[in-house]
């Protein structure tokens, strides 16, 4: 049995007061008995606040990216050891906005994934096709290439501590969600691919859906066999909505 996971990707949103009130509301609505793992991904400057407020709770936190280097002359970048110092358990790698706006290739993503695993962070690997790729019938080959880049560099065992998020690029921030059937089809493709490499890892890995998840569509998506929760952007900025999505995964 895979325990569902619901993660909030805050992207570049927030302020000290907003972060404090959002985290306090999430704390008030959570308990260690919850049947769903709840994770937040605040922007770097607010990770310290997350650590302070969440450290004794069942809510965990992570960062939105990391640099593959251990330290050095990388102005503006943040390393795995810094994230561990701030109590992060997870780190997003390969979010489509990183790939598209900041030029991260499949091999850059694999390098970040490797660094995260070696440091003891749990990577949440994002994969997904654009609308043009879907319309050209390339969805499966795009997803396969994104996952193969990680497998080739890091090996199947590196996925033992990982989570995957399938996020069709055309569904992110657009209000257009993949239908449960469309999402399940890709999730099953990913799981089958991993099962063929390693039975245990393929059956245990959590595969989240992301892209305009809301409190009204979450239950239908999460009801599908291979959808183990969600990576939520916009709707994770309101405690009430985010907790309703969490409840839909229970
Ligand atoms: P969205 O973002 O829920 O706002 O579509 C999801 C994501 O980018 O992870």
In DSSP notation, 226-239 reads T--EEEESGGGGSH
* Other CB atoms within 10 Å distance of the CB of residue 223: 12
- Main-chain dihedrals φ then ψ at residue 120, nearest 5 degrees: 95, 15
- Name the average pLDDT for the chain: 97
Report how far ligand 1's centroid is from the alpha carbon of 104 (Å).
Answer: 18
In DSSP notation, 97-111 reads HHHHHS---HHHHHH
For 7, the 3-state DSSP assignment is strand
Determine the atom of ligand 1 nearest the C-alpha atom of 235: 3
Active-site residue, from 97, 104, 114, 167: 167
The reply to whether ligand 1 has any atom less than 6 angstroms from the CB of 173 is: yes
- Give the pLDDT band of residue 198 (cuts 50, 70, 90): very high
Answer yes or no: 95 catalytic.
yes
What are the tens digits of pLDDT across the range 99-149?
Answer: 999 999 999 999 999 999 999 999 999 999 999 999 999 999 999 999 999
Determine the atom of ligand 1 nearest the C-alpha atom of 172: 5
Looking at residue 1, its pLDDT comes to 82
The reply to whether ligand 1 has any atom less than 6 angstroms from the CB of 212 is: yes
DSSP code at position 236? G
Q: Calculate ∠ Cα 23-27-33, nearest 5°.
A: 145
Answer yes or no: 240 catalytic.
no
What structural domains does the chain harbor? 5-249 (3.20.20.70)
Contacts of residue 81, defined as CB under 8 A and 6 or more positions apart, other chains included, come to 70, 71, 119
Percentage of the chain beyond pLDDT 90 is: 99
Q: Whose CA is nearest to atom 7 of ligand 1?
A: 233
pTM across the whole model? 0.97
Looking at residue 22, its pLDDT comes to 98
């Amino acid at each position: 049995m895979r325990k569902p996971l619901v993660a909030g990707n805050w992207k570049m949103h927030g302020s000290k007061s907003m972060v404090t009130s959002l985290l306090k509301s999430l704390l008030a609505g959570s308990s260690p008995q919850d049947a769903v793992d709840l994770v937040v991904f605040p922007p770097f400057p607010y990770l310290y606040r997350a650590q302070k407020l969440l450290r004794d709770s069942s809510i965990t936190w992570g960062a939105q990216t990391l640099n593959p280097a251990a330290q050095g002359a990388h102005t503006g970048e943040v390393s795995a050891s810094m994230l561990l110092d701030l109590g992060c358990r997870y780190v997003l790698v390969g979010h489509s906005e990183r790939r598209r706006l900041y030029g991260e290739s499949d091999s850059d993503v694999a390098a970040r994934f490797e660094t995260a695993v070696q440091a003891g962070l749990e990577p949440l690997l994002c994969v997904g096709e654009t609308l043009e790729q879907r319309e050209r019938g390339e969805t499966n080959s795009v997803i396969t290439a994104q996952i193969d880049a990680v497998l080739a560099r890091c090996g199947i065992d590196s996925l033992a501590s990982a989570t995957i998020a399938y996020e069709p690029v055309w569904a992110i921030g657009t209000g257009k969600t993949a239908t449960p059937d469309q999402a399940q089809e890709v999730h099953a493709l990913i799981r089958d691919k991993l099962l063929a490499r390693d039975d245990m890892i393929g059956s245990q890995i959590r595969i989240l859906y992301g892209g305009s998840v809301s409190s009204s569509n979450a239950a239908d998506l999460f009801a599908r066999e291979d959808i183990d929760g969600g990576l939520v952007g916009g709707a994770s900025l309101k405690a009430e909505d985010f907790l309703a999505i969490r409840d839909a995964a229970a």
